[in-house]
Amino acid sequence: MGDIYRIYLEYCKHQVVLEPDNWDFKSNSNYTYMLEHNNFYHIGIKYYECLMNKYGDIINNNKEYIYNIIKINDQYGKPEKHAFNDLECSPTSLKYILHSLLFYDFINKYHLNNLDIIEIGGGYGGLCFIMKKIFELLNVNVSSYTIFDRIEASLLQKKYLNNLNTEVNICQIDNINNIKNNSVLISSYAFSEIPKNLQDQYIKEIFNPYIDYSFIVWNNIPVYNLNEDKYIINEELEYPQTSGGIIKNHYVYLIPKV
């Protein structure tokens, strides 16, 4: 996948052998050049304001529960935290809350439950942890959660989530196991970043046989329909918009053609 990933993957290998209290990947430049590079206050306050504007009722009615989820996710890895009114946390945790609630809106619109979730590119596992907790709060059953990634990242995800008592199945695109038909998929700044040949492999081996509904936080390249014979594609500009380039980020929704 290219030399750009080498330092990041080596640091994943370095971190996975440490005890959780010694992790620092959320603030170490050997990791954050690839992930966790938007952990600035000006990004976090946009996530916070977006959450309060769009999901204020859910958050205010379940503040202790949601703030505790965020606190647990920020407990390990030494993240950069900022104060947002009465909440001190990492912007990444706010992003994961937002993406979890957006995904909830999507699956709820189509009356989906008892979900087998597949995530492409799982970071350190934080979205998996937060989403499962948010879905539990909102009475959505997650039957299984599988993350596809490079093996070095997968092993760190597995250890991180085990430490948080969160069950996950880890896979690589060349090592697929325990995938369920009619799964739903999420990918946050990942699928659209990988090389086109890998995108094509995921489309052939994951999307086409297993996935009906997908929510993709799309960046880096123009949006395209992964399979025009299978999917209807809907898209909207990401909010808050985190791209500073010409190509803007989008929320992309794939639903099956009837």
pLDDT digits (tens, 9 = 90+) for 204-247: 999 999 999 999 999 999 999 999 999 999 999 999 999 989 99
Q: Say if residues 25 and 124 touch (Cβ distance below 8 Å).
A: yes
pLDDT at 51: 98
Q: Say if residues 206 and 226 touch (Cβ distance below 8 Å).
A: no
CA distance 15 to 37: 18
Chain center to CA of 161 = 13
Residue type, 115: L
Q: Say if residues 15 and 23 touch (Cβ distance below 8 Å).
A: yes
Percent of the chain having pLDDT more than 90? 92
pLDDT in tens, 92-127: 999 999 999 999 999 999 999 999 999 999 999 999
> Which pair of tokens denotes residue 90?
């990492």
The pTM assigned to this predicted structure is 0.96
Task: Spell out the CATH class of 1-258.
Answer: alpha beta
Statement: residue 191 has pLDDT above 90: yes
pLDDT in tens, 139-189: 999 999 999 999 999 999 999 999 999 999 999 999 998 899 999 999 999
CA distance 185 to 116: 8
pLDDT at 144: 98
pLDDT at 177: 87
pLDDT band at 5 (very low <50, low <70, confident <90, very high): confident
CA distance 71 to 92: 12
Percent of the chain having pLDDT more than 70? 98
How many CB atoms are closer than 10 A to CB 84?
18
CA distance 238 to 236: 6
How far apart, in Å, are the Cα atoms of 7 and each of 15, 34, 61, 188, 254? 12, 9, 42, 21, 33
Residues near 222 by Cβ (< 8 Å), separated by ≥ 6? 247
Q: What is the residue-averaged pLDDT of the chain?
A: 96
**Domain limits, the chain:** 1-258
Burial state string for 19-47 with b = 16 or more CB within 10 A and e = fewer than 16: eeeebebbbbeebbebbbeebeeebbbbb
pLDDT band at 33 (very low <50, low <70, confident <90, very high): confident
Nearest Cα to Cα of residue 94 among 102, 216, 224, 231: 102
pLDDT at 1: 46
pLDDT band at 3 (very low <50, low <70, confident <90, very high): low
pLDDT at 35: 82
